[in-house]
Amino acid sequence: MPLLKDGRIVEDPWVDVPPGEAVPADQPAIVDLEAWQAQRAQLVGRNQAIGLRLAPGDSPDEIAEDLDRFSLITLSFPAFTDGRSYSLARQLREKHRYRGELRAVGNVLRDQFAFLYRCGFDALDVADTVTPKHWRTSISEMGLAYQTATKDGARNVFQLRQRKRDAETKATLLASQYGKHSSADIVQRTITDEFAGRIAVVSSFGAEAAVLLSLVANVDRNTPVIFLETGKHFPETLAYRDQLVTHLGLTDVRSVSPDPGHLSDEDPDDALWRKNPDRCCHIRKVLPLERALDGFDAWLTGRKQYQGGERSDLPIFEAADGRVKINPLAVWSQSAVERWIAAHDLPKHPLAEIGYLSIGCAPCTEQTTATGDVRNGRWAGTEKTECGIHKAKWAH
């Protein structure tokens, strides 16, 4: 069945598993609530993404603590006149703040499409009897005046989408204003003028972290710095963090740890990094960072184009899920980094001195080999190149 997503008809990579049938191990799979509750322990440990199928009578309250485990939730419409799944969508988005993909399945009319979007759906299965062209027409014709009221100050889906558009506009504007400015000026402008009191730095305290942190300290040592304490760092990294914090006089470094419940459920034997490194990064980095960034409108990173891979065309300003992400060192060269560290007498990470040019969690980091790629020691022997915090759904 065709899938309408992001205004296009696309192929659906998910397998919708009928009740009672085995869940495929090698494909993203959607299971119903009963199957999830019966096989939860097995499904949590699988290497592929998992989705949940909710019927109109199901309650998301039953699995509220598990919602962030699902990359996708499908809600069924058994009849055109049955609107219970609209209410379910609102509960998921507004009450439970579910940020994954919501998909409508079943009997939906073209003139209901606008309301689907307003309730927080991202995609829908298009019935075989409906010409996909008609749905595209509905998208182009759609014009909505969104309601913005929420309970208890929580952002609803309408506000989130508006915030995303605002961030995209802001990133474009900043690029035109400051794109040619020095890194020091970009840091100063964003911390003191553009996002005063609403910006944080995300730092791994890795091999090159001292550069960005020194630029920030020169502007405001009270700027919040978020460090993802995965529980897997080298002891040298933790010692270096403390040394650099003291050296630069940083006053608000926040070490953010994973949810203990996620660790006990998904990594009881402390070996998830070996079995499913993507999921390990997700529960140890992606989810904790999402929590830590709540309340901030922008964040600074130390990523650079010369680090290669997906960073090769990194912009200085970009939008990331309703926030502006600033990469002031994007166009720096490796030699410029080394010169800055030497010129400002900054402490060096002890592992960088012995060949670790990119440093993450200890189990997934090796010494860099002489291939020109400074990150080739990360997840060596696999196709993985990023931990996921810059690719998560909430970060786009």
The string of DSSP letters for 298-320 reads EEE----GGG-GGGTT--SEEEE
Residue 87, pLDDT > 50, answer yes
Return the CATH number at 53: 3.20.20.70
What does DSSP assign to residue 282?
A: I
Most confident of 75-84, 143-152, 190-199, 365-374: 190-199
pLDDT in tens, 384-396: 656 556 554 434 3
The tokens for 112 are 């209901």
Could you tell me if 83 and 212 lie in one domain? no
Q: Element (H or E) spanning 277, and its range? A: helix 277-281
Q: What pLDDT sits at residue 298?
A: 96
What are the Cα distances from residue 297, in Å, to 165, 321, 326?
13, 10, 11
Q: Per residue in 325-380, pLDDT tens?
A: 999 999 999 899 999 999 999 999 998 888 787 788 888 777 765 555 665 556 55
pTM, 2 dp: 0.64
- In the predicted structure, residue 282 carries a pLDDT above the cut 90: no
pLDDT of residue 149 exceeding 60, the answer is: no
Q: Residue 377, CB half-sphere, CA atoms under 13 Å: how many?
A: 20
Q: What is the CB neighbour count within 10 angstroms for residue 160? A: 16
Q: What is the C-alpha to C-alpha distance for residues 386 and 79, in angstroms, rounded to an integer? A: 43
Tell me, yes or no, whether 15 lies in a domain.
yes
Q: What angle do CA 215, 242, 373 make, to 5 degrees?
A: 60
The pLDDT of residue 264: 86
Q: Are residues 280 and 178 in the same domain?
A: yes
| Average pLDDT over all residues of the chain | 83
Does residue 248 sit in the same domain as residue 391? Answer: yes
- Same domain, residue pair 227 and 307: yes
- Residue 150 placed within a domain: no
**Confidence band for 142, pLDDT divided at 50, 70 and 90:** very low
- Verify that 86 and 134 share a domain, yes or no: yes
In a domain, 153, yes or no: no
Q: Is residue 155 part of a domain?
A: no
What is the set of active-site residues? 387
Which residues span the domain enclosing 384?
Answer: 160-395
> CATH code at 239?
3.40.50.620
Residue 312 included in any domain? yes
**Is position 147 within any domain?**
no
Confidence of residue 141 (pLDDT cuts 50, 70, 90): very low
Q: 8: pLDDT confidence band, cut at 50, 70 and 90?
A: low
Q: Choose between 113 and 244: higher pLDDT.
A: 244
- What integer pLDDT is reported at residue 144 of this predicted model? 40
What is the average pLDDT across 147-152? 44
